[in-house]
Structure 1
Amino acid sequence: MANSPQSTQWLQGIKLTAATFSLAMAAFMMVLDTTIANVAVPTIAGNVGVSVDQGTWVITAFGAANAISMPLTGFLSHRFGEVRLFLFAVIGFTLTSFLCGTATSMESLVIYRILQGAVSGSIAPLSQSLLLRCYSKEKRGTALALWTLTIIVAPIVGPILGGYLTDNYHWSWIFFINVPIGIFVLISCSMLLKGKETTRSRPSIDYIGIGLLVFAAGSLQMLLDLGKQHDWFQSTFIIGLGLVALVSWGVMIIWEYYHDNPVVNVRLFKNRNFSLAVLIMGLGYGIYFGSSVLLPLWLQGVMGYTATWAGLATSPSGILAVVSAPMMAYLTRKVDLRLILTYAFVNFAIVGFWRANFSLDNSFFIIFLPQLVVGAATMPFLVPLQRMIIDGLPSSQIATAVALSSFFRTLSGSFSSSVVTTAWDDRMTFHYARIAENFTVYNQYSMGYLRDVHGNISLMSKIIMRQAYMLSTVDLFWATGVICLCLVPIIWLTKPINIEIE
């Protein structure tokens, strides 16, 4: 066993501020990259001469590789040290971002995106773990609040920035933009984290566990990314991915539970608060992310907003999140975390029911306002859960716990996105059929509408479809409100944790 002693001296003053900013930028860069490419897929596909469906492999390749590498963070950090692994991940992410920007074919871009996802899975969880090591235990609430801002703001900025760079410059800049950020993070963290390396060990490598993880995480992420494109379980390809995922996950959980040196420490789920916090975060983040996917779809596809105006309408959720960060740092040290979480989910439920009253006549302000309100619950949702996940764990297990929770949060976002887009279309089909069945010669109202469009059946069909999508949107927002209320009792199954008073 080779040890690197870990410093127990907390950073202070300008060093603490600089380390916080640098680590937050690392997480921001990583989370940003999961969303910034989404809006550029049609442009990339056109430039490299492939279909849009083939272009989605730019997203799928990164997501699958990232999903595989993220749970390995705990194992790799024990073997190489958290600081060393983090710096390696930043170097790899920066280099592969540059390579992605220079790609001239879809084949090379997909290969570079696989490499980018594989080397960067540790960045987000280790940026949080290392940030916590810079703060004293009683100030962890502050550290978590600051770090959480990155996973709130980055998904909001990503599509807007990606659209701007693609429209005004070239799609390659959505990757090149990572290079200066990565260089800054590498240099600053190399200097600021000296003496913060964790204890290293050389456990035997669980090759079977790694192989099972590749099949389990990779097949599940591909299923979620490609399911809608292949009509879900009507496709033998998707059925095959589902069977591989189901069997691989089952075997991997059993194997890793009994292995002496597991690559994924599933025994953490024996901790009640950890298990419930991961469950609540997964379901809650799925609702939050799903709503973030649904709003732009509705605004651009139904309400006729441009990408820029849709971004402006959805961006206010980040305003109160940023403003409330200092308050959350204080409240998590003074108030029962379960009360804070209850407030967050009640807020989410109210906003869900509020949005369920949207109509085709809504003004920009009517759409803008609930987005502003939901921002007041975002930090109260994420910060207490991050706190619960690491509560009572030894410092050597924090990176593993954060990596697992980050993995399931990311997976939940992918699952939610797939469910929302599929359900939106399915409910539209249902409502379209219900509206269209009333258009008979015996219904004077429907005949009146048809006369208003001078018998133009195609135009009437578009009007019905627009209304059907509106009703579908209302259904989904109503469902988010109900689910959020159902999650409140689960919050109170967690054990109260000690509140440290500064």
Structure 2
Amino acid sequence: AFGAPMVPIAQSTLLDTFPREQHGLATALFGFGVVLGPIIGPTVGGAVAEAQNWRWAFFLIVPFALVTVLGIFLFVRDRKRTEPPRALDWTGFLALATALAAMQLMFGRGERNSWFESTETIIEAVLAVGAIYLFVVHSLTTKQPFISFNLFHNRNYSVGICLAFIFGMLNFTLMVMTPTMLQDLRGYPDSVIGMLLATRGIGSIAAVFVVVRISNWDPRMALSIGFTCQALSGYAMSQFDINMTYWDIAWTSVLQGFGIGMSWVPLTLIMFSTVKPERLDEASAVFHMLRNFAASLFISISIAIVVRSTFINTMALNEFISLFNKSLLFPNVTGPLDFGDINSLALAGSEIRRQATLIGYLNVFKLFTVLCVLPIPFIWLARLPRHDR
């Protein structure tokens, strides 16, 4: 949790250091770490966990952290500020933190607790609504709020923050859902899953180079291409069957990685192109907070969809396994299975659970595709800054 400010501080420092005409190149280079880090980490971690022990995966960060700390002291210079730092608005901070935590718990545990049939879910919902109300009212009435709503008077930033929320929902979901799908349905080992996930990095690297080469393009066009590539990847994954191959996972991962890489740079350019330098810290913090919250929120929703869909489809498919189903009397339908034998029934039940689970994952991929397509028209609500026209 204490590492949460690192990315927004790094990005605001980067944007403040480089002139606006070089923000595209600087953001592209920064995007290497943002996009590739979550891809390389699970890949290497999966190999280490399989070769040694899962605990060793957590020690991998230690040498990189030490080098980073040394680099900060040697190369990063403190920025000169023309105004004194603001006092922390504890009321706004605690209200926002409570609202986000309550919503995360509600969506993460809602399916397990049968949603609003559970007292816990009701309490979390009431707490989230109350905390949001307190945060909004307090922010509008205090002189120095934790997050100033004046920031959202900037049209590009307001459009960008909505797009960033959806981008956050899309960014990590497939990377979290795909490994569990491959383990549950195909029985792939951790090392193979890690290598398949690493193919996403190929697309991301290619996209960053493409973005640098087309830096004179309208960033709205590049962002639209990025969301379209992710939509095509999600649609292809929604057509998977139980016999999906390595190639099926690899090429869809490459396409998804390309879409993410194409989206990151133009999204940040649109958001921060018209933000005043003294507001970059606040703008970057809100951006990454909402992006990370959206990612965890949609992952929780996706897991709930898989669990719910698996239960519903298991019950629906089990209705066909009955002595009253005359189609099961024909050998060309049942094959080697004899539904009068308990072993055959157990085998059929296992296959039904696999197919029902697959349907749950396919439903997530369909929702992913819809979320990729929906924001594309709204991208064009953003305006190009004068120096990009």
Q: Give the residue type in structure 2 aligned to 1:386.
A: T
1:302 match: secondary structure = helix
CA pair 476-459 structure 1, distance change in 2 beyond 3 A? same
Q: Which runs of 5 or more structure 2 residues have no equivalent in the other structure? A: none
1:217 match: secondary structure = helix
Name the % identity. Answer: 22
* Pairwise CA distance, 1:179: 3.0
Which of the residues 246, 249, 252 maps onto 1:370? 252
What CA distance in whole angstroms lies between the structure 2 residues aligned with 1:401 and 1:239? Answer: 33
* Pairwise CA distance, 1:406: 0.3
Pick which of 443-452 and 130-139 moved more: 443-452
CA pair 124-215 structure 1, distance change in 2 beyond 3 A? same
What CA distance in whole angstroms lies between the structure 1 residues aligned with 2:36 and 2:181? Answer: 21
Does 2:222 align with 1:334?
A: no
What CA distance in whole angstroms lies between the structure 2 residues aligned with 1:287 and 1:387? Answer: 19
8 Å Cα contact 1:142/1:330 also seen in 2: no
Partner of 2:293: 411
1:385 match: secondary structure = helix
Partner of 1:317: 200
Cα displacement string for residues 360-390 of structure 1 (whole angstroms, at most 9, x for unaligned residues):
2222112211111222211221211111221
TM-score scaled to structure 2, two decimals? 0.90
Cα displacement string for residues 253-282 of structure 1 (whole angstroms, at most 9, x for unaligned residues):
221133221122233122222122111121
8 Å Cα contact 1:285/1:412 also seen in 2: yes
Which of the residues 336, 347, 351 maps onto 1:452? 336
Cα displacement string for residues 136-189 of structure 1 (whole angstroms, at most 9, x for unaligned residues):
221111111121222222222333333344444455544443333222222222
Q: Give the residue type in structure 1 aligned to 2:345.
A: I
Partner of 2:151: 268
* Pairwise CA distance, 1:311: 1.9
What CA distance in whole angstroms lies between the structure 2 residues aligned with 1:423 and 1:188? Answer: 43
What CA distance in whole angstroms lies between the structure 2 residues aligned with 1:440 and 1:134? Answer: 70
Pick which of 167-176 and 454-463 moved more: 167-176
Which of the residues 220, 230, 239 maps onto 2:103? 220
Does 2:178 align with 1:295?
A: yes
CA pair 287-362 structure 1, distance change in 2 beyond 3 A? same
What CA distance in whole angstroms lies between the structure 2 residues aligned with 1:202 and 1:286? Answer: 33
Partner of 1:463: 351
CA pair 434-214 structure 1, distance change in 2 beyond 3 A? closer
What CA distance in whole angstroms lies between the structure 2 residues aligned with 1:177 and 1:313? Answer: 20
Which of the residues 474, 477, 494 maps onto 2:365? 477
CA pair 202-318 structure 1, distance change in 2 beyond 3 A? closer
Greater RCO structure (CA 8 Å; 6+ sep): 2
What CA distance in whole angstroms lies between the structure 2 residues aligned with 1:174 and 1:200? Answer: 43
Q: Which runs of 5 or more structure 1 residues have no equivalent in the other structure? A: 1-116
8 Å Cα contact 2:43/2:198 also seen in 1: no
TM-score scaled to structure 1, two decimals? 0.71
Cα displacement string for residues 15-43 of structure 1 (whole angstroms, at most 9, x for unaligned residues):
xxxxxxxxxxxxxxxxxxxxxxxxxxxxx
8 Å Cα contact 1:227/1:238 also seen in 2: yes
1:120 match: secondary structure = coil
8 Å Cα contact 1:281/1:382 also seen in 2: no
8 Å Cα contact 2:99/2:128 also seen in 1: yes
Paired residues for 1:75-90 under 5 Å: none
Paired residues for 1:63-462 under 5 Å: 117=1, 119-194=2-77, 196-199=79-82, 201-331=84-214, 333-447=215-329, 448=331, 452-454=336-338, 455=341, 456-462=344-350
CA pair 275-432 structure 1, distance change in 2 beyond 3 A? same
8 Å Cα contact 1:298/1:473 also seen in 2: yes
What CA distance in whole angstroms lies between the structure 2 residues aligned with 1:295 and 1:378? Answer: 16
* Pairwise CA distance, 1:401: 0.6
What CA distance in whole angstroms lies between the structure 2 residues aligned with 1:161 and 1:483? Answer: 30
Residue-pair matches, total: 383
Cα displacement string for residues 382-422 of structure 1 (whole angstroms, at most 9, x for unaligned residues):
21111122121111111111110100110011111111111
Cα displacement string for residues 206-227 of structure 1 (whole angstroms, at most 9, x for unaligned residues):
3322332332233333434444
What CA distance in whole angstroms lies between the structure 1 residues aligned with 2:278 and 2:17? Answer: 15
What CA distance in whole angstroms lies between the structure 1 residues aligned with 2:218 and 2:125? Answer: 40
Cα-Cα RMSD = 2.4
CA pair 247-468 structure 1, distance change in 2 beyond 3 A? same
8 Å Cα contact 1:336/1:499 also seen in 2: no
Q: Give the residue type in structure 2 aligned to 1:382.
A: W
* Pairwise CA distance, 1:460: 0.8
1:201 match: secondary structure = coil
Pick which of 432-441 and 394-403 moved more: 432-441
CA pair 257-271 structure 1, distance change in 2 beyond 3 A? farther
What CA distance in whole angstroms lies between the structure 2 residues aligned with 1:406 and 1:208? Answer: 21
* Pairwise CA distance, 1:195: 5.3
